[in-house]
Amino acid sequence: MEQELIKKTEAFVKKELQHAEGGHDWFHIERVYKNSLLIAKTENVNHLIVALSALLHDIADSKFHDGNESIGPEKAENFLRTLHLDQTYIDHIVQIIKNISFKGGNFQPNFHSAELEVVQDADRLDAIGAIGIARTFNYGGFKNRKIYDPEVKPQLNMTKEAYKKSEAPTINHFYEKLLLLKDRMNTETGKKLAQKRHDFMVDYLNQFYSEWNGTV
Ligand code: ADP
Ligand code: NI
């Protein structure tokens, strides 16, 4: 029964994300889904809620919908109704989708649950390390941003609005988000996996500046 709900959700998400940008496509969802299940193993959580939230968490990202933050949760809710899922489950999954995102990191979330913690960690893991680097430059290219500009300094403590509007060079995103994530992991498994990916990004940036400056 649960397996059937998951299969139906996978099919729905695959179809919805057919033309998505490469960092927010079905493969991102698949990685987040797998990492969510891995992290959930050692957490006391409802596995169906974790699985469906992971699958639906980026169903209509506001970045790709003129900043509209309600399309994603609404789409997810309408779809979940077709599965005839319990309303308490639907409400919980929709809350997770509304609260999972980083958005500059300087806003107060208004919902909390162990299931949110698991899926948020899995989503954050996919934002760092080798995959995180690839997704970040892909997004920068998609938005026609510069790779790096030494004149444009990273902005910490941006409001949610400023974070969303930022057109800064892609390297700045490492300082504005990616390097901050390891200290924001919720679960022990998440923390462990994040440290390794974090160290890889630090090495990457050192190499990047050496090559930029012609010192290697
Ligand atoms: P969140 O809402 O949690 O920040 P996003 O969906 O915005 O999550 O980010 C997912 C990934 O998209 C980031 O980890 C990064 O790879 C890419 N991304 C988002 N915003 C930017 C940006 N301004 N510059 C480069 N990459 C970005
Ligand atoms: Ni995501």
pLDDT exceeds 90 at position 164? no
Grade residue 106 by pLDDT with cuts at 50, 70 and 90.
Answer: low
Ligand nearest to the CA of 169: 1
Say if residues 110 and 132 touch (Cβ distance below 8 Å): no
pLDDT of res. 121: 98
**What pTM value is reported for the model?**
0.93
Pick from 27, 98, 103, 177 the residue to mutate for probing ligand 1's pocket: most ligand atoms within 8 Å of its CB: 177
- Distance (Å, whole) CA 52 – CA 54: 5
Centroid of ligand 1 to alpha carbon of 4 (angstroms): 31
Q: Which amino acid is at 140?
A: G
Amino acid 117 reads: E
Q: pLDDT digit string (tens) for 182-202? A: 999 999 999 999 999 999 999
Kindly list the protein residues that place their beta carbon closer than 5 angstroms to ligand 2, a single-atom ion: 58, 123
Q: Alpha-carbon distance 115 to 137, whole Å?
A: 30
- pLDDT level of residue 108 (50, 70, 90 thresholds): confident
Question: Closest ligand 1 atom to the C-alpha of 145?
Answer: 24
Cβ(15)–Cβ(62) under 8 Å? no
Q: Which of the four pLDDT bands, split at 50, 70 and 90, describes residue 62?
A: confident
Instruction: Output 166 or 193, whichever has higher pLDDT.
Output: 193
Residues with CB under 6 A from ligand 1: 23, 61, 63, 101-103, 127, 132, 135-136, 139-140, 166, 170, 173, 177
Please, what are the domains in the chain? 2-212 (1.10.3210.50)
